[in-house]
Amino acid sequence: MTPAAISRRALFLAVGLVTLSGCATLGLEHPATAPTPTPTIDRPTPTAKAPNRADGSTLSDTQAREALITETDLGPPWTATRGAATWRDGLLKASTSAGDCQRLLDALYDDELLGGPPRVAVGLDDTDTGAQIRFQIGARRPADVDGALAWLGGMPSQCARFTATTETGTLEDIQVTDAPLPDVGDVRQGLHITLAALTRDGDQLLLTMDVAAVRVGTDAFALTNGGLGDVPNDATQAAVQLGALRLADVRKQGRVQV
């Protein structure tokens, strides 16, 4: 690891998670870990050219899975997820009458930032801070992806600040701002979202989320990096860079094979 990388990692670890009253009830669930499937190592033969998918991708399902980032890519303290964060149901499952902002909340909760269900997805947990990254490869045509990215780009103006209410009646104050991303891929959009809530018991909660979506050729990926308190942006930036490189490498391998 280079001195610069070590310095960035030290800075990342030095940023402490803001501990707020009531956060313990909205941490991470830890169901039994499912067995990890054995990776496929066989490569398609030169005659086994994968046909173009309806979404425009030329990747096989195996190649799409290979394009996902892993805990090995990010390094400690990131590990394979042990379950969805309970704050997803506790805070993201909320309703608002503020125009298109409901669509944003639904997209965050359903993991459909690219406008539809992902083709493949993975979750990673930061065991130091409790943050969680959810990374997905999209399953939509490039034009549809660009439309979704343009819609996300309008959120800082359309939903700069609005209120929402959870199913338990908790009032939330939500702010959305534009967030810079590494110069990767063909089209990209980043958002920074903070959600402050005051429960009926008087507990103050803060959920922070980084959102990123990138199209690389005919394929695209999206991710969220969220957690209670302050979520350091270093992991988001690294995941975006790694995701673009991984997708580009897999696409290149696919062209060599055919």
Q: Which domains, from first to last, does the chain contain?
A: 22-28+52-257 (3.40.1000.70)
Task: Give the chain's length.
Answer: 258
Residue whose C-alpha is closest to residue 236's, from 176, 174, 175, 191: 191
Give the pLDDT confidence of 159-183 residue by residue, as tens digits. 999 999 999 889 999 999 999 999 9
Question: What is the rounded CA–CA span in Å between residue 230 and residue 221?
Answer: 24
Question: Cβ(208)–Cβ(226) under 8 Å?
Answer: yes
State the pLDDT at residue 255: 53
Question: Cβ(207)–Cβ(228) under 8 Å?
Answer: yes
pTM for this predicted structure: 0.77
Question: What is the rounded CA–CA span in Å between residue 232 and residue 154?
Answer: 24
Q: Tokens standing for 109?
A: 């909760």
Question: What is the rounded CA–CA span in Å between residue 184 and residue 189?
Answer: 11
Question: Cβ(74)–Cβ(235) under 8 Å?
Answer: yes
Q: Quote the distance between the C-alpha of residue 115 and its chain's center.
A: 14
Give the pLDDT confidence of 107-144 residue by residue, as tens digits. 999 999 999 899 999 999 998 888 999 999 999 999 99
